[in-house]
Chains A and B, each alone.
Chain A
Amino acid sequence: MGALRRAVVSGATVVAVLGVLVGAWELYRWIWISAGWTWPFVVDDTSMPHIHTIVQALFQHPTSGFGDILIVQLFHAALFTAKEAVVGFAIGATFGFLLGVLMSQWRVLQRGFLPYVVASQTVPILAVAPIVVVYLGSLNVAAWFSVAVIAAYLTFFPVAINTLRGLLSTDRRALELMHAFAAGRWTILWKLRVPAALPFIFSALKVAATASVVGAIIGEAPSSIQDGLGGYIVNFNQYYTLSPQNLWATNIIAALLGIAFFLAIVGAEKVVVRRAPEHVA
């Protein structure tokens, strides 16, 4: 099957699944409302607005006539959040990769660091975020950068863990080959371990990319940043009973931003990773 045809088929599948999901939402809504069922929750225009109401909301002015239509406002907000997420992702991925490399090279570091790396993720991000904002704010760092640091906090973990795992799962015979050629530790790291670990690292980067968007959105609330998607979500949350469709519309844009990040990593992986077809996930 040709590459073009594969792309068309997978594109059509994505659209078909979207259609099914929209249909399921509307069908669920219709059945629960007409039957008057209240379990697990009451279905009405507030809890589950029509899909077309949500889409319409994107093209209306959210506050009685002032400002741009919602989708334009959300587009700018998404760009703002994207900046935080990209910087956070870059910091987190770099830090996570270096941490993984350090832990792979010295077992002592692995034993010493790993429990704290894991512990760092059991602390709720909502508890960490205000501390980061207050601390960096006192250093006169721009508020958006505090948010990037919060995003980095969520990003570094999967990268560190998978980099470590990838670097330690190098083929034993490939290592023997490098030893027979009298290659040193760092040569083996750069010429063998890291390239062999790239599929592991990229699957971590995909998780990290979406996590960085979530981290940026969550981080905007304690930083009182109004310009990003997080600000809009906090705002629309307060007016949910009046216009629930605005929050749903913002969710859609946030999801699209996450998908864009994910696809960017998939694209980078296609360019960077040259592996036998059976190795590529």
Chain B
Amino acid sequence: MSVVAIEKLTKQFAQGNVVALQDIELAIEPGEFVSLIGPSGCGKSTLLRIIGDLIQPTSGTVMVNGKPAPRARADHDYGIVFQDSVLFDWRTVSKNVALPLELLGWDRARRKTRVDEMLALVELQGFGDHQPWQLSGGMQMRVAIARALAFEPPLLLMDEPFGALDEMTRERLNMELLRIWEASKSTVVFVTHSIAEAVFLSTRAVVMSARPGRIADIVEIDLPYPRGAATREEPRYFELVTQVREALHLGSDLDRAVADV
């Protein structure tokens, strides 16, 4: 059974009659790491939010783990990470990670055990009692990831999580994310506008084009795991980067062609 199954999905925003997404068909299998990549305005974040039942589609169906998206959300099937870490200032790092566990009604002892495990997973042992603002941007993002994965959701939604970080931190967190993903065995949907990031991380890159947002191409990324710094220097990596880039450009040419008609 697919973790995500999207059929004939269309999203039209009432204001200005903008067609944000048109005829989206996508199936994501368990354990996949799928990137949504495209120019701004291609609806990739909107698609992520529709999968997460944070926005309602205009038409079409979104099934998550065989259930309609609202049911999946109520069942706590989602972990979510945004570009901004969105940590709560008034909670310590540990309490931030424990937030979803509190919402699930876990008792204190069970929460503490899990929080410790999660902080170890993102390599932030010893930072549990810090306030979020005492941490660097990269560390804050790791806390956000730990929070999203704390209750072992079957599906992790990430909306440009490393977009605001510098290139060095971003590459390091990319590698950490792969390690965490392999350890947690969850399925990831990852929105990005970085070709390098999409190729390095994903099992598949879904290339989108804008106005209206459509899937232009889906590129299978057949680089073997575990991937590391050396992966970025392999010829196959560069071929795939080129392939994604061409798919993106084809998509935007298509835009222009449509605009010209």
Contacts and interface: CB of A to CB of B under 8 A. Distances in A.
Contacts of B76: 181-182
Contact of A279 (B75, B82, B89): B89
Contacts of A273: 90
B133 interface: yes
Given A171-B86, A173-B82, A180-B80, 17 more contacts: A173-B84, A176-B80, A177-B80, A177-B86, A179-B73, A180-B78, A180-B157, A181-B76, A181-B100, A182-B73, A187-B103, A191-B102, A196-B88, A198-B90, A275-B89, A275-B90, A279-B89
A142 B136 CA distance: 57
Contact of B103 (A183, A195, A277): A183
Nearest to B132: A276
A277 B132 CA distance: 11
A174 interface: yes
Contacts of B74: 182
Which 4 interchain pairs have the tightest Cβ spacing? A276-B133, A180-B80, A195-B90, A275-B89
B54 interface: yes
Interface of B: 49, 52-54, 73-76, 78-80, 82, 84, 86, 88-91, 99-100, 102-103, 131-133, 157
Contacts of A196: 88, 90
Size category, A interface: 20 to 34
A51 interface: no
Nearest to A183: B103
A196 B54 CA distance: 21
21 contacts: A171-B86, A173-B84, A173-B86, A174-B86, A176-B80, A179-B73, A180-B52, A180-B54, A180-B73, A180-B80, A180-B157, A181-B99, A181-B100, A181-B103, A191-B99, A191-B102, A195-B90, A273-B90, A274-B89, A274-B131, A275-B89
A281 B184 CA distance: 42
A192 interface: yes
Contacts of B75: 182
A182 B73 CA distance: 6
Contacts of A276: 89, 131-133
A273 B91 CA distance: 10
Nearest to A274: B90
Contacts of B53: 179
Contacts of A279: 89
A182 B100 CA distance: 9
Interface of A: 171, 173-174, 176-177, 179-183, 187, 191-192, 195-196, 198, 273-277, 279
B88 A192 contact: yes
Nearest to B100: A181
Contacts of A180: 52, 54, 73, 78-80, 157
Contacts, number: 57
A180 B131 CA distance: 23
Nearest to A184: B103
Contacts of B88: 174, 192, 195-196
B158 to A, nearest CB: 12
B240 to A, nearest CB: 31
Nearest to A176: B54
B79 to A, nearest CB: 8
B76 to A, nearest CB: 6
A175 to B, nearest CB: 9
B194 to A, nearest CB: 20
Contacts of A176: 49, 54, 80, 82
A245 to B, nearest CB: 48
Contacts of B157: 180
A171 to B, nearest CB: 7
Contacts of B73: 179-180, 182
Interface centre among B52, B88, B90, B91 (most CB of A within 10 A): B90
A179 B89 contact: no
Contacts of A171: 86
A57 B182 CA distance: 80
A147 to B, nearest CB: 36
A173 B82 CA distance: 8
A171 B133 CA distance: 16
Contacts of B102: 191
Contacts of B132: 276
A179 to B, nearest CB: 6
A12 B52 CA distance: 56
A277 B133 contact: yes
Chain A CB within 10 A, most for which of B79, B103, B157: B103
B54 A182 contact: no
A250 B76 CA distance: 62
Contacts of B78: 180-181
